[in-house]
Structure 1
Amino acid sequence: MSSKRNKDDDRLSLDETLANLTLVLKKKQQVLEEREAALEKATAELNRGRSEVFGDKSDNDVLHLNVGGDRMSVLRRTLTSVEGSMLASRFSGRWDDSLEKDGEGCFFIDQPMELFRPMINHLRAKSCETPLVPPVKSPHLINMHYELRLDFYRMVEYFGMTHGIYPTVIEMHSGDPESAEIGTFPDCYVKSSEWSTFTVQTLGHNRDITSFEIVLGSVERMQIGWINESRYVENVSDDHKNGVGEEENSLALDCCRGGLLNQGEFTKLESLRKLKAGSVIRCEQKGHRWLVDGKLVASSLASDDTFHFENAFLPPTGHVNNGKKDEIIPCFSGKGHWTLSQIVLSCP
């Protein structure tokens, strides 16, 4: 009798457990259905809001432009292909009703067609780039008069297109590629779990980097500077690693010790304390001027009222050695996180 009662109790307990599980599953299903409904509602509201802001605009829209009096037709997605640029914002669709138009309703661009067309043709070529052919190169404009080339660079900069037309990229010079995360334009950054060295390279064009700006995150043994790429050799033996500024043909600001490294020679800068996260290091004229948080801290130029250093390896801008131009490029050694916030390119 007792055995039968126990079996009945076990059966009742099992039935109650199954009933409770069923109830729990129903409640979870209800929660999921409510979340799905809320997501669908939010998506519908977002689409409604986008429609109110952009109307029925599409990346596939063919836009008709009047460029300095000459007509051109171009896809909206071509004009907006460089993320974060003023050109992309202008033709996103949000401002179509307020943009300048000619008497026939064509969007008016107050630039000469001979300058605007090379930029658009470059974007068109990039849109159909494939790995089966060589990568698209930036406009070199070798047949254009020098003053017009300057006007072209000025126009590209005005539209916020410089790093889309004349790209740069951070590359690892030495270290374990698996230890570093490298961001590309418009978010150029390095997150490295091991001490490594990186350079900034130009892609598909002959405009040199003349100045750059770095914003520090949390870093260890951070050295920011320049190298003569064709002559720089870094010591990366197992028991010791040198970085930028510690070898010949390199110059760097040592952020953690607060000084200048000139081909291995360290000079303490008394006005420069150990730099912290958020500090902004700006280096101008290919290593000739150094600023920290807007204050000039070192220079090779006699006209600057600050610490002066002997510029042992950095040649004058445009220096040519044995028929070959010295390639002076930015270089960073360190561990941690930092952001490349600005780059200035030359006008060849």
Structure 2
Amino acid sequence: MVDYYGMTNEIYPTKLEIHNNSKKSGGSSSEEDTDSAVEFIGNSKKEVIAKEWTTFQLVDNGNHGRRVKNYEIKLGENVKRIQIGWKYTNNEIKFNSKRRNTGTGVGDINFTYALDLTRSVYLINGKSDPLPAPFEYQKGTIIRSENYGQIWYVDDEIVYSTSNDKWEAITSDRSNLEGMCPMISIKGGMEITRIELEE
């Protein structure tokens, strides 16, 4: 069940969609190949099994224009790699076209930042900052991003808080903030369990 803080999904709908830059960049993987590598569970478009390394974005599904401010995911079966984060630009961003476990994900490229539990690092524009301790994750692990990714929780414990200087670097160009969008790169299963939209 997705918690919208009193706003139902019918009023302010959001959905997960595959970020597939191969359609525009001429990458080698086709849309059909991408679709066969991802299984959406149910009609809500909030639970998926990614059989290959795939990047998703959580987007407005009704032209209501309200951006996501906080969100939470629960890991499912067979998670081999996970990076949960944000993009902060209105411009198109492109990940490399490599599949499997070798491709780039959110946080690995410019205009993105992410918590990478697999490598136990925080990523900003491809640069990594080691987390205080390595993390183990399993089916049922809950990861939450608050205030556009300033504070990160794993199973209700704060694991990272973005420093003021890093946050200022992200938010220095106010026009980029209009493009703020949650992104998740994963191989394995996950479900969006909580969403809070900005007022």
Q: TM-score, normalised by structure 1?
A: 0.47
Q: Return the match for 1:205 from 44, 51, 64.
A: 64
* Candidates 315, 326, 330, aligned match of 2:171: 315
* Aligned position for 1:194: 52
Q: Which has the higher strand share?
A: 2
Match of 1:30 in 2: none
For residue 184 of structure 1, report the CA deviation from its aligned partner: 5.7
1:327 aligns with 2:183: no
| 2: CA distance, partners of 1:301 / 1:287 | 11
CA contact (8 A) 2:81 2:188 kept: no
Q: Report the Cα distance in structure 2 between the residues aligned to 1:328 and 1:235, rounded to whole angstroms.
A: 17
C-alpha separation between the residues in 2 aligned to 1:172 and 1:267?
27
Query: Does residue 87 of structure 2 align to residue 227 of structure 1?
Result: yes
Return the structure number with greater helix share.
1
Alignment partners' CA distance in 2, 1:248 and 1:312: 15
Which of structures 1 and 2 has the larger relative contact order (alpha carbons within 8 angstroms, sep 6+)? Answer: 2
1:297 aligns with 2:153: no
Q: Residues 170 and 182 of structure 1 are in contact (CA less than 8 Å); yes or no, is this contact kept in structure 2?
A: no
Identify if the C-alpha distance between structure 1 residues 185 and 287 changes in structure 2 by more than 3 Å, giving closer, same or farther. farther
Q: 2:104 aligns with which of 231, 242, 264?
A: 242
State the AA in 1 paired with 2:119: R
Question: Tell me, what secondary structure is at the counterpart of 2:10?
Answer: helix
Seq. identity, % = 30
The residue number in structure 2 matching 1:139 is none
Q: Look up the match of 2:26.
A: none
**Counterpart selection for 1:255 from 114, 117, 120:** 117
Correspondences of 1:3-82 after superposition (within 5 Å): none
Write out aligned runs for 1:15-164 (5 A). Answer: 157=6, 161-164=7-10
Q: In the aligned structure 2, how far is the partner of 1:197 from the partner of 1:313?
A: 24
The gaps in structure 2 that reach 5 residues or longer are: 21-28
- Structure 1's 187 and 172: CA in aligned 2 closer, same or farther, altered over 3 A? closer
Distance apart, 1:342 and its partner CA: 0.4
Give the distance between the partners of 1:312 and 1:194, measured in 2 at CA.
Answer: 34
Q: Which has the larger radius of gyration?
A: 1
Cα distance, 1:259–1:185 mapped onto 2, change above 3 Å = farther
